[in-house]
Structure 1
Amino acid sequence: MSSQPPHGPLCTLDSLSSDLRALGAAPGETLLVHSSLSALGWVCGGAPTVVRALLDVLGPDGTLVVPTHSTENSDPAGWIAPPVPRAWWDEIRATMPAYDPRTTPTRGVGLIPETVRTWPGAVRSDHPQTSFTAIGPRARTLTAGHALDCMFGEESPLARLEEAGARVLLLGADYDSCSAFHLAEYRLASPPLDDNSFAVQTPQGRRWVTVRDVAVDEEDFERLGADFEGQGPVVHGTVGRARARLFPLADAVAYAERWLGEHRVPAGG
């Protein structure tokens, strides 16, 4: 174990709840949270304390939503972090465990979403790679109907969050994590398409399936987010030591539609 003192500040349930309220998070609202636990400081109780603080602020009528992606359930031919030998590809495709919303762990989204995934009463959507998990009275409505060929589009929780008037909280996370911008990619005139493969459980048993879906790309989301901040209704604050930004999801999607339409070359263009 490290002999170095922890990086502060000391964050408790009460201090995090107070910071979130000061930022403007409100009881009864629906909140999509992208987060970094390490950005907050030293949290007494770790990720469960952050989840409790979010639920405390939202109250019994509010709904917490987080990305619970499991991107390792994918074609190994596209793996780069790290790659695997080509000789393994066929066996990986044949043996990759089928997605199970109850047990498949998250990957690459942090400890807070993984904690939400296993929280009592949590409801997770059915996409094997880009699921979202929700806690609260709107959880089932927001996560229902997540189509296999629609990671982030109209048949995903992002569209349901837009309809519900949700807000996005970037809690120590940057705009390259802002999944709401992906919904705008689906609404471009000619979005690029690609094959997407994964293991799913069907009534006939486990299957490796390939679907055609929009090829999403967050490479320019930081520039998009910076421009959105200059013109959009973004509330800034600090939670623990983390930079926090709070804004309406629908406004972010509408701005991203215009911005991407101007800055990206259409597929085949």
Structure 2
Amino acid sequence: MTTRGGGLATRRTLAAQLRLLGVRSGATLLVHAALGRLGFVCGGPQAVVLALRDVLGPDGTIVVPTHTPDNSDPADWRNPPVPADWWPLIRAEMPGFDPAITPSRYMGALAETVRGWPGALRSDHPHVSFAALGPAAERVLAGHRRADMLGEGSPLARLYELDADVLLLGVDHGANTSLHLAEYRRPAPPRQRQGAAVRTADGGREWVWWDDVRLDASDFDALGADLAATGAVRAAPVGGGTGRLMRQRAAVDFAVHWMARNRRTEDDA
């Protein structure tokens, strides 16, 4: 880990900073994190989870994205793309998603630490699962529908119902998954076909297809800057980096109106 910016952070100092930022005891908190941007953390991701639990207390719940973007249609892969003649074999051989053992990808060490924490639960979505630790975990994760995967049948909508908070640790709004819920709340959002490998009831696997909203995070940084300008986002040092805290409802509601003003619809094209 880098030691630049902020010196040494510990479970105790992180908890103190998170309280100053405004993390609420008893809250349900969706966390997106890039721990490498927090400087040197004594104990790494384990210490960060412990600090979050210290602040949230026994009535609080931590939620993290444990997405598996590599379990998707290889025809859509761009970083890097793969040859078209590989696509059928990938669809035929990709292991079926298993919430107990399939690791998340590109979600960071904190998400993986929460996923493996004793007592943590994980939703059963093959592409955009979430994990949670705390008394609200089952309510947040249950019934995560395959179609409309970040919409009304998703943990994001359950977090909205619970008036949850969102914490960005060392990341900006480009990683703010809750803003995708606003895309589902737009009238007639553009859609596309999605695919993934899933487990079957007999312990095997199969490739499945479904229709879903075409997600687009390319303008989330601009959206987030405008949201922050309203005073809805609190920012303060956490370790050697920056923490940003907001109420999820406020962010989603703002994003719905922002997208209506700033995004073109297919009818406008």
**TM-score normalized by structure 1?**
0.96
1:151 maps to 149
How many matched pairs? 266
2:265 maps to 266
2:196 maps to 198
Match of 2:89 among 88, 91, 101: 91
Residue 232 of structure 1 deviates from its aligned partner by 4.2
2:132 maps to 134
Residue 127 of structure 1 deviates from its aligned partner by 1.0
Structure 1 window deviating more from structure 2 (255-264 vs 226-235): it is 226-235
The residue type paired with residue 6 of structure 1 is T
5+ residue gaps in structure 1?
Answer: none
Match of 1:170 among 155, 168, 171: 168
> Contact 1:232 / 1:252 at 8 angstroms: preserved in 2?
no
The residue type paired with residue 236 of structure 1 is A
1:32 maps to 30
| Divergent runs of 4+, >2 A | 5-8
Residue 83 of structure 1 deviates from its aligned partner by 1.7
Q: 1:169-200 CA deviation, whole Å, 9 max, x = no partner?
A: 11111000001110000010120000000001
Residue 125 of structure 1 deviates from its aligned partner by 0.8
Match of 2:3 among 1, 6, 16: 6
> Contact 1:171 / 1:245 at 8 angstroms: preserved in 2?
yes
Query: What SS does the aligned partner of 2:166 have?
Result: strand
1:186 maps to 184
Q: 1:115-145 CA deviation, whole Å, 9 max, x = no partner?
A: 1110111111111111111000000010011
Q: Pairwise mapping of residues 203-214 of structure 1 onto structure 2 (< 5 A)?
A: 203-204=201-202, 205-214=204-213
Query: What SS does the aligned partner of 1:207 have?
Result: strand
Residue 268 of structure 1 deviates from its aligned partner by 3.6
The residue type paired with residue 96 of structure 1 is M
Partners of 1:256 and 1:32 in 2: how far apart?
Answer: 17
Query: What SS does the aligned partner of 1:66 have?
Result: strand
Partners of 1:108 and 1:245 in 2: how far apart?
Answer: 20
1:55 maps to 53
> Contact 1:189 / 1:266 at 8 angstroms: preserved in 2?
no
5+ residue gaps in structure 2?
Answer: none
Percent of aligned positions that are identical:
51
**Over aligned residue pairs, what C-alpha RMSD do you find?**
1.3
> Contact 2:66 / 2:128 at 8 angstroms: preserved in 1?
yes
**TM-score normalized by structure 2?**
0.96
> Contact 1:30 / 1:64 at 8 angstroms: preserved in 2?
yes
2:18 maps to 20
> Contact 1:232 / 1:251 at 8 angstroms: preserved in 2?
no
Partners of 2:25 and 2:121 in 1: how far apart?
Answer: 20
The residue type paired with residue 258 of structure 1 is H
1:238 maps to 237
